[in-house]
Structure 1
């Protein structure tokens, strides 16, 4: 994942929605591949149930595979708050994902702090942008493992 001016999206919902819509369209048109700042990244479309509304939500996210396990990162580009999808998964950890041209149900498991610290260190080594995001915030950026059900 290349570095780009991602922090502005944490406070601009309309810009984030427009960016996400473009990513989703490109993802689905190209079998899960996208260009621009996410070229070469592994992306997943995460379908969650809104914690407050109960409505279906979708978020395109980078994911990282470590030791055969898929992880998503609640970085929100180092913003001081968690992204909405984190709250949704905490309220309802059953989700659906699209990876490439595959789509299936998952159970999201938030990593406890000790496990999170070990995995985050490995993840940040693989994708240095995530180290920068953690350095930019005082909150502990959550990690979720996506377990196929």
Structure 2
């Protein structure tokens, strides 16, 4: 689990969300599944407007920049995550929206 702190797209206030994360090399991946709901989670809207975030993983605090993956890259990453966590495929079956995969590049690490 990670703690993701974003800046609110509308409010400008910080918001922290506990979330499962995955790794793709040096990048951190988050899946904007919203537990299979029909709308994207609030944190997804926040990173679209304000892509620089804080991630707390274990004892490390990371400053990272979000990129919303698209096309073949999104499909590849989603398939890799589904291989580890098949529940995401079930979520995708029951909703019309494409579940986003957001990749975070670490800009700074702090203990």
Q: TM-score under structure 1 normalisation?
A: 0.69
RMSD value, Cα: 1.0
Instruction: Name the SS of the counterpart of 2:78 in structure 1.
Output: helix
| Aligned partner (choices 21, 26, 33) of residue 75 of structure 1 | 33
Contact 2:69 2:102 in 1 (8 A): yes
Quote the Cα distance in structure 2 between the aligned partners of 1:68 and 1:115: 16
TM-score (norm 2): 0.91
Q: Distance in 1 between matches of 2:55 and 2:27?
A: 14
Unaligned runs of 5+ in 2: none
Say which SS state the counterpart of residue 52 (structure 1) adopts. coil
Mapped partners of 1:66, 1:46: distance in 2 = 17
In the other structure, the counterpart of 2:86 is 128
After the TM superposition, list the runs of 4 or more consecutive aligned residues in structure 1 that deviate by more than 4 angstroms: none
Indicate the SS of the match to 2:3.
Answer: strand
Tell me what 2:24 maps to. 66
